Amino acid sequence: MAIKITDECINCGACEPECPNNAIYDAGAAWRFSDGTGLKGVIDFGDGNTLNAEESQAALSDDIYYIVPDKCTECVGFHDEPQCAAVCPVDCCVDDEDIRESKEELLAKKDWLHINE
């Protein structure tokens, strides 16, 4: 699964620098797969879809900080617990019940995100 930020977020920003995958962005901020990862150039998702890792993607929220699910590994392979949840003063970094991934899938995602580092 991934972590999501709920609308109880107070926009303090404590979570953003804690993410080892740079998956957390400020409200309204564009994001890129290349931000904080080893992904460069054209990336292949293995399902026939490709994307330029340096290409800006639209913000997922204009109101609160948000987590890009495709970059979230719940800190697996880096820490014992999701660091965003550990530092959030209002406990709004929670499991995203719509996105379920095993530990093995999260480790594979971590390896994919940091492949060229």
At 46 the pLDDT is 84
| Predicted model pTM | 0.93
State the Cα–Cα distance between residues 46 and 99, nearest whole angstrom.
19
Could you give the dihedral angle defined by the CA atoms of residues 5, 87, 1 and 74, in that order, rounded to the nearest 10 degrees? 130
Q: What is the pLDDT of residue 74?
A: 97
- pLDDT of the chain along its 117 residues, tens only? 789 999 999 999 999 999 999 999 999 999 999 999 999 999 988 899 999 999 999 999 999 999 999 999 999 999 999 999 999 999 999 999 999 999 999 999 999 999 877
Residue spans of the domains in the chain: they are 1-112
Classify domain 1-112 at the CATH topology level.
Alpha-Beta Plaits (3.30.70)
Query: Which residue type occupies 51?
Result: L
